[in-house]
Structure 1
């Protein structure tokens, strides 16, 4: 089964306001509120993910990464969403090197999103 080529995260936008607005049904205030909630929750989510990585709790890590994706899907942050999906897949595969790389990517993309906040 062929898979679509993966776009490097650095080529995906940190923030896609058009997508976020579309997901929010054209409501700019709602899109801004969802993005603000994402930003507010990121530090705690990263800390919780880091704890799961350190404990090698792959099931817990996969679940938390899945929850992060629940938020990223609604906020127009495609690179962060892809990084969270990659971390979830790595955790479900219980692959420590992939988990480490995916978590590093997630942290980098979280920083990009925080810096994209304007």
Structure 2
């Protein structure tokens, strides 16, 4: 995200919307790859507050590992977006997910955020 000129807020964590290493995220990762969307690019990222954040940065708390329910929901949404609109559909869906994560209450659950 730095390359895209997005400054990292204090006490935040960079989150991959589609997981970069999780086995459960493989389907969505393949779709990103098919469309030339960089897994580490700004299109697939969002800065979220970490445990040290005290300045009220909005978004669900990023605490490291995420549950399979999150990866399954992302896979489902990315697969549907790809079928509906190809690359642009996937980019639009990543943007929607980014908005959900970044505007969520800090104490939201990763199990049902999507």
Decide which structure has the larger Cα Rg and report it: 1
Specify which structure has the higher proportion of helix.
Answer: 1
Both proteins in one fold, TM over 0.5: no
* TM-score normalised per structure 2: 0.31
